[in-house]
Amino acid sequence: MHYFVSDIHLGSGDAAEQREVERTFLDFLSKIEGDAETLILAGDIFDFWFEYKQVVPKGFVRVLGRLAELSDKGVQIIMLTGNHDMWVGDYLTKECGISLFTKPQTLSLAGKTLFVAHGDNMNIKNMPVLRVMNAMFRSKSLRWLVSWLVHPNCFVRFGKWWSGRSRKSHGEAVDAKVLEPLIRYATDYGKEYDVDYFIFGHMHYAADITEPERMLFMGDWHSQPTYISLDNNGEIKLNYING
């Protein structure tokens, strides 16, 4: 069985909310341990992550330990970075056995072709401000400067503030309209390439769309925790944790 999750946003909210989301995710990891072959983390697993050469954000030890244990048991773990955890280095690979990718991936699993992306940097040609911000935050030069010039305590404080601001931009309630840019992207992409399933996160709205392409969107784990399962017969399903 192959599993997909996104938008856990570990570290978001007050202490009680953080622990509740962490428990829910740990319960999920325990549930899939028996049959998981692949686990794809499709971005924003952390609400903020910035990795210095010798320093990583504190916390998340239960989750990181559990992921490392799954990897040690032979589960292939793949992580696609999102807009909240794009500044990763080699720590998660060395310590947890996670294969890291900073761009969307086309995967072949269970005889199906899947296009998997977080979804934050797609179909934004007509959004110049967002394009500039995306380029800036993905700049390796900027990351190097920050890591040398800004003390970790200062940058983590800034990063948590910025992540909270970004998360609030989704609003308290979202509807299916937020999916439209990614639906257009998948529709156009599907005209050129043969893809069985498109999988996205980022929009904090869970949906399973069958036309014009099969597109599955995962919700965020603070309000709509979901995951996607793909069995070895190629059957895919959007699952609700509390549903």
The pLDDT, as a whole number, for residue 139 is: 65
Distance in angstroms (rounded) separating the CA atoms of residues 188 and 182: 10
Comparing 23 with 129, the larger pLDDT belongs to: 23
The pLDDT, as a whole number, for residue 111 is: 95
Question: Could you tell me the CA-to-CA distances from 134 to 121, 206, 239 in Å, in that order?
Answer: 7, 24, 31
Q: In which band, very low, low, confident or very high, does the pLDDT at 57 lie, cut at 50, 70 and 90?
A: confident
Q: Which CATH class is domain 2-240?
A: alpha beta
Joined tokens for residue 243:
């549903």
Residues 57-61: what's their mean pLDDT?
87
Comparing 108 with 155, the larger pLDDT belongs to: 108
166-222 residue pLDDT tens: 555 555 556 778 899 999 999 999 999 999 999 999 989 999 999 899 999 999 999
* Residue 78 · residue 109 · CB < 8 Å: no
The pLDDT, as a whole number, for residue 54 is: 84
60-90 residue pLDDT tens: 999 999 999 999 999 999 999 988 787 888 9
| Domain range annotation of the chain | 2-240
153-165 residue pLDDT tens: 676 676 666 666 6
Cβ atoms within 10 Å, residue 218:
29
